[in-house]
Amino acid sequence: MVERRSPKPDVEGSNPSGRDLYNKKIKDLKMDKALSAIKLYFKGVRSEWGKINWPERRQVFVETLFVVVIVFVFTIMVYFLDVVFKWALSFIPHR
């Protein structure tokens, strides 16, 4: 049996290569669109990066020190509450 092909390359016939070519073009268009979207995203990131108002080194140091001191104070408070509750619960008789 002889395979028959359409004389027009855009017309799909029994030859699957036309469909494959069409699918490849669609995939290429989707890839181009995705790459364009990624490029646009990073251009926006670059633009916004320049608008950031970074704090000075001294301000970062002082605020970090403040956080560390607060955490230390709360840790000591929780420790003393634990000691007080342990002492208070020691008066409850065990079975």
What one-character DSSP code corresponds to residue 94? Answer: P
CA–CA distance, 64 with 66 (Å, rounded to integer): 5
pLDDT at 94: 81
pLDDT at 83: 97
pLDDT at 55: 93
Residue ranges per domain, the chain?
Answer: 12-53
CA–CA distance, 95 with 93 (Å, rounded to integer): 7
Per-residue pLDDT of the chain (95 residues; tens, 9 = 90+): 666 666 665 655 555 566 777 777 788 888 888 899 999 999 999 999 989 998 999 999 999 999 999 999 999 999 999 999 999 999 998 87
Task: Answer for the pair 21, 29: CB distance below 8 angstroms, yes or no.
Answer: no
pLDDT at 56: 96
pLDDT at 72: 98
Q: What is the tally of helices (H) and strands (E) in the chain? A: 2, 0
Contacts of 12 (CB under 8 A, 6+ apart): 6, 18, 19, 22
Q: Which helix (H) or strand (E) holds 73?
A: helix 57-89
